[in-house]
Structure 1
């Protein structure tokens, strides 16, 4: 393999999202920067999550996930609840405003511009992560507001990537 300059990878653009699911009545979710629309007929999205995360395990079993698109003004305390704590230890949805999609996945309304629910149609196993491709079943727009990008998360909010994030290596660039 040739030389890898991590700064080159940091030039890719990302949004910031909460990817969630429901498994047998238990809700869980996590911060993610890897979500993208991949087709329009049918509308499909993809997300890639670390295998060690509870959300990944739950999506693999439930076959569903939801995505909340975060707004720029979201406070770090809200990001921290979903990004730096484990659903194995806390109820991440305690005191969070959300509704349920018809399929039961949580659609987070608080600090979100939009949310959608997807049914997993394909899973690709990577060495450390699982790539979930899902067909969108439901979506809702909550408001118009500037979106939180991964770059803003680092530059404005001074956030770091946890060890399980695909972008953990970028922490060394700061």
Structure 2
């Protein structure tokens, strides 16, 4: 059912649909990343779609999304800090990031929803874009490769 819908979307929009599914996540488009990447992996490993095209579009979409949210934190950082300085969740997240820094940056990309919030705090913290790219992009590559491999594993179990 889901795979049939995705195939129809790919037929209509091309592989761009995988890019958009990941790129639009932080902007309120509720597309479950894990399901999308597993479905893409299963479809590509079964020979229906090109695996390199799917993987490249998924990774590019995720990198675009986390880069945009990093710059949201960088550009609107002071305004966000003033607005949410009394918010308990904001204070806890800020404290967590300050305590764990690079590890929080790497691990934050691995978890749903958090992967789009952590880059905002990284941008708020004043970290250079270069350091952000090195750590967060590495994490994104690990996450996408891991889930893409799970898709192949699930395909073997299903069939």
Q: Normalised by the size of structure 1, how large is the TM-score?
A: 0.25
Q: Normalised by the size of structure 2, how large is the TM-score?
A: 0.27
Considering fraction of residues, name the structure with more helix: 2
Considering fraction of residues, name the structure with more strand: 1
